[in-house]
Amino acid sequence: MNTKKIIDIVMDKGIVTAADLKGTGIARTTLHYMAKKGFLRRVSRGGYTLAGQYLTFEAFAEIMTSTPLCVICLLSGLQFHEITTQMPFETWVAIESNASKPKSPNVRVVKLTGKAFSEGIETHEKEGVSVRVYCPAKTVVDCFKFRNKIGIDVAREALADCLQQKKATRDEIWKYAKICRMTNVIRPYLEMSK
C-alpha cells in the first residue's frame, strides 16, 4: 500500500524527498528501500524519481538539492532558457563570493557579489525541482562578463539569439549591463545587432 502511495506522490511531483512524506505516515527509509528494489531511482542526495524516468533537468536537481542558494548561469542558463545550441558538459552556477562551493561533480562555479549576484534571479518549478536561474537578459550579460571563460563568440551568439527569439529586450539587457558594469563591453555588440 505504501508503494502505490509513494508512486502516486512521485508521479505528481516528479522528484520526491523524505520531507514530502511528512504527514503521510510513511517511513522516510521507504524511499531508499524502494530504490533498492528497483521501483525508484535516486537522482540527487535525498531525491528520488520513478525507475526508468529521466528528467530533463536532472543535472540541476542534484545541484539545487545540495546547494539551494546557487544560481544556474552562463552556458547552463542559456540551455535552460533555450537560447543556445551549446550543450555544456558541466553545470555552470553562480554563488556569492563568501559561499562554499557546491560538492556536486561536473560543476563550474563563478563567484559574484552584491547586485551582480542578487539581481535577475528567477525561480522555476520544473519536474518537481525548484530551479534558481538568471533571467535571459542577465544570463546574456554574464556571458560577456565571463567572456574569457566561455568565449566571446558564445556571448555574441547568445545576444543575437536572445534578441531574435524575443527572450529579452535591449532595455532589459542594458539594465543588467549597468548592474554588472558591462556597458562599455556590450554597447558595440548591442549596436551591431540592430
C-alpha torsion angle, residues 141, 158, 153, 126 (rounded to 10): 90
CA 158 to chain centre: 17
List phi, psi (to 5°) of 165: -85, 0
Closest among 67, 57, 73 to 138, alpha carbons compared: 73
List phi, psi (to 5°) of 76: -70, -35
pLDDT tens digits, the chain, 194 residues: what are they?
Answer: 578 888 888 887 777 888 888 888 888 888 888 888 888 888 767 778 888 776 666 677 778 777 888 999 999 999 999 998 777 788 899 999 888 888 777 889 999 999 999 999 999 987 667 889 999 999 999 999 999 999 999 999 999 999 999 999 999 999 999 999 999 999 999 998 76
Q: Quick one: cell of 71? A: 544560481
Query: Alpha-carbon distance 1 to 146, whole Å?
Result: 52
Q: How much is the pLDDT for 144? A: 97
Domain with CATH 1.10.10 in the chain: 2-50
Query: Residue 138's beta-bridge partner residues?
Result: none
Q: How much is the pLDDT for 46? A: 76
CATH number of 2-50: 1.10.10
Query: Alpha-carbon distance 68 to 59, whole Å?
Result: 13
